[in-house]
Chains A and B, each alone.
Chain A
Amino acid sequence: MADAMYKTNKGPFVSLMTGLPGGGKTFLGILLVAALLVPLSNLLLPASSPFHVPTYLVSLMGKYVCFALLALSVDLIWGFAGILSLGHGAFFALGGYSMGMYLMRQIGDRGVYGHPILPDFMVFLNWTELPWYWYGFDMFPFAILMVMLVPGVLAFVFGWFAFRSRVTGVYLSIITQAMTYALLLAFFRNDMGFGGNNGLTDFKDILGFDLQATGTRLGLFVASLIALALGYLVCCFITQSKLGRVLIAIRDAESRTRFSGYRVEYYKLFVFVVSAVLAGIAGALYVPQVGIINPSEFSPANSIEVVIWVAVGGRGTLWGAVLGAFLVNWGKSYFTGSFPEAWLYMLGGLFVFTTLFLPKGIVGTSGTWIEKFKERRRGSPELAPAAAVKEE
């Protein structure tokens, strides 16, 4: 017990080197195995083999991995700092649009209208020159920078005003929702210069590689897994540091944290920006794999769905959020195919079920069961009432 305590006191680097939170190593192991086996199976096994992973499935899984990273970013702020964002889809979509703009510029003169610089939709709108905010997106490094910078800056400005005014709880959730809704409306407009209703699509290639080629799809899948693994490590680094403990303190007793001398608003701002950047990266990897980005990614329902993934997996557990994203999205793919009318009811039912019966999500609740089981085997009756009191 004391050992575990001192380990966390040697700083975040030592914490990360000497141990990940429960299940962390297994989780990274699974990601590694997937990054190796899926491409190998796709490339080496014949299509007739039951273990062959077809290319469409690779892209589908790649999409889930991006959703998982988005879920992770929401868990970082909701599970640890208690900031329930119902607008995180906005940061995801902004990262996606930044990548989409790069992919549009990559099309060059291969568009329907064959204009050397202007994307098709601008030619269609009779625009004669590229808007200034499209400059630089023909360069991949610049686009990658924007993938992180645009969501990060929006989160910073939004958070600066919200957290400094001490907007918390349900009010904060509502204004995050309003933020993504406002962006939805803005991006619908043709004169915003982002393709309006249709968004950005008809991408050809990325870094010179054909987006339809199997090799590119495998590469994007592996890149998404790497991003998820790195994002997970960043989250572990933060949550295992003293700053992570301050975040939990803010979640559990905000005013106590203030009276302990911490500027709560700066801590929230920090973690909110980190989370928005992670969401932006997830969006950037998502767009080339699905081949389109349009304003519907800003829709409030999307952001609420992310929260459901995290709740189902278990908030504050990090890899639980990833598990939740996979399970719910797999269920969505399966049920929309089998029972298309019933899917939305199932999603709603799932959320109600989770809130009522698995308040800590799959990972949290199973963790509690394992603890109880161990206690029973140890046979310590005096611990049972203490646990009951804690439930209050």
Chain B
Amino acid sequence: MMSTQVKESKKQDLTSILYLDGVSVSFDGFKALNNLSFVVEPGEMRAIIGPNGAGKTTMMDVITGKTKPDTGEVFFKGGIDLTKHDEAFIANLGIGRKFQKPTVFESQTVFHNLELSLKGEKGVMTTLFAALNDAEVARIMEILGVIRLTEKAGDLAGSLSHGQKQWLEIGMLLMQDPDLLLVDEPVAGMTDAETEQTADLLRDISKTHSVVVVEHDMEFVRALNSKVTVLHEGSVLAEGSLDTVQNNQRVIEVYLGR
């Protein structure tokens, strides 16, 4: 059903999973993104850090189709132009997004939250007559185990603790089985133990998926042990391992050394 038009481009990196080049977005004259470029390779885990207002959320909005960039190119899996599609299409292409504030379907059970996120045909009539088969139930049960919520399957998502909601939302992304996960501040408001478990979980996930994590918590970024991109005022300030980045003079000035 889904036609993915592949565009021949002169300079884009056809092997990348995510490719942003010269992306700018402005709101009422304020430049949220200013000539932002970076590339994520398949299977890579990337941490993105930056002070408030650096453009992290806008960047996620552009990748997931919520915001159209004024200029610049955004390509997924080498050839798919993301600027031409809407949220639902991009989600079905294989990009999952976790919001900063955990967003789950609070008045429905944990089980149904995962059922709703199941990969597959999402048309109105298909959904009206949808029934779960054994493989799909098994898949939901498997994810319930991964996010450690098996016991809570029948509880309303609204009754979960903050940390559990974060995990449920990650579980919902996994149900979509995306090629790329965009995870916005997954450990905000979590206890130390939960933070540690979340780092384990994300490292596990990154074995089979590409993951982009936006995070403030330096300890957590260190635990992820991945390449780091520092954003500042809508563009890339520095890129490299956490140690390299932390020793970068400009990064210390604008962010770490505050």
Contacts and interface: CB of A to CB of B under 8 A. Distances in A.
Question: Real complex partners, A and B?
Answer: yes
Interface of A: 1-2, 4-6, 8-12, 14, 238, 241-243, 245-246, 248-249, 252-253, 255-264, 266-267, 270, 386, 390
Contacts of A14: 131
B137 A261 contact: no
B135 interface: no
Contact of A242 (B87, B92, B109, B116): B116
Contact of B153 (A5, A11, A263): A5
A330 B108 CA distance: 35
Contacts of B176: 260-261
B137 A256 contact: no
A260 B127 contact: no
B172 A260 contact: yes
A288 B103 CA distance: 49
Given A242-B115, A263-B122, A10 B132 contact: yes
Contact of A252 (B97, B107, B128): B107
Contacts of A263: 86, 88, 122-124
A264 B91 CA distance: 13
Interface in B90-138: 91-92, 96-97, 99, 103-109, 111-112, 115-117, 122-124, 127-132, 137
Contact of B129 (A241, A245, A386): A241
Interface string B180-197: 000000000000000000
Given A9-B132, A11-B129, A243-B128, A262 B158 contact: no
23 contacts: A2-B153, A5-B154, A9-B137, A241-B129, A242-B115, A243-B128, A245-B108, A245-B112, A246-B116, A249-B116, A252-B107, A252-B108, A253-B103, A253-B104, A257-B116, A258-B88, A258-B91, A260-B91, A260-B116, A260-B172, A261-B122, A261-B176, A390-B158
A249 B108 contact: yes
Given A11-B129, A12-B128, A260-B117, A5 B111 contact: yes
B218 to A, nearest CB: 28
B130 A11 contact: yes
A280 B116 CA distance: 32
Contacts of B137: 6, 9
Interface of B: 64, 66, 86-88, 91-92, 96-97, 99, 103-109, 111-112, 115-117, 122-124, 127-132, 137, 153-154, 158-159, 172, 176
B127 to A, nearest CB: 4
Closest A-B pairs by Cβ, 4 of them = A11-B131, A9-B132, A261-B91, A1-B154
Given A11-B129, A253-B104, 4 more contacts: A2-B153, A9-B132, A12-B129, A255-B66
A243 B129 CA distance: 8
A14 B131 CA distance: 9
Contacts of B153: 2, 5
A238 B46 CA distance: 42
Nearest to B112: A245
Contact of A249 (B92, B99, B105, B154): B105
Nearest to A256: B103
Contacts, number: 104
A294 to B, nearest CB: 36
B92 A261 contact: yes
Contacts of A4: 154
B6 to A, nearest CB: 21
A1 B136 CA distance: 19
Nearest to B96: A259
A14 B16 CA distance: 45
B88 A264 contact: yes
B64 A10 contact: no
A263 to B, nearest CB: 5
Contacts of B128: 12, 238, 241-243, 270
Contact of B88 (A5, A241, A248, A261): A261
A329 B127 CA distance: 37
Contacts of B172: 260
A257 B92 CA distance: 12
B104 to A, nearest CB: 7
Contacts of B111: 5
Contacts of B88: 258, 261-264
Contacts of A246: 116, 127
Contacts of A253: 103-106
A253 to B, nearest CB: 5
Contacts of B91: 258-261
A353 to B, nearest CB: 25
A266 B124 CA distance: 7
Contacts of B154: 1-2, 4-5
Given A258-B91, A261-B88, A242 B103 contact: no
A268 B31 CA distance: 34
Contacts of B132: 9-10
A8 B115 CA distance: 11
Contacts of A264: 88
Contacts of B108: 245, 248-249, 252
A263 B103 CA distance: 18
Contacts of B122: 261-263
Contacts of A245: 105, 108, 112, 115-116
B115 A9 contact: yes
A238 B107 CA distance: 17
Given A6-B137, A9-B131, A243-B124, A248 B115 contact: no
Contacts of A258: 86-88, 91
Nearest to A237: B128
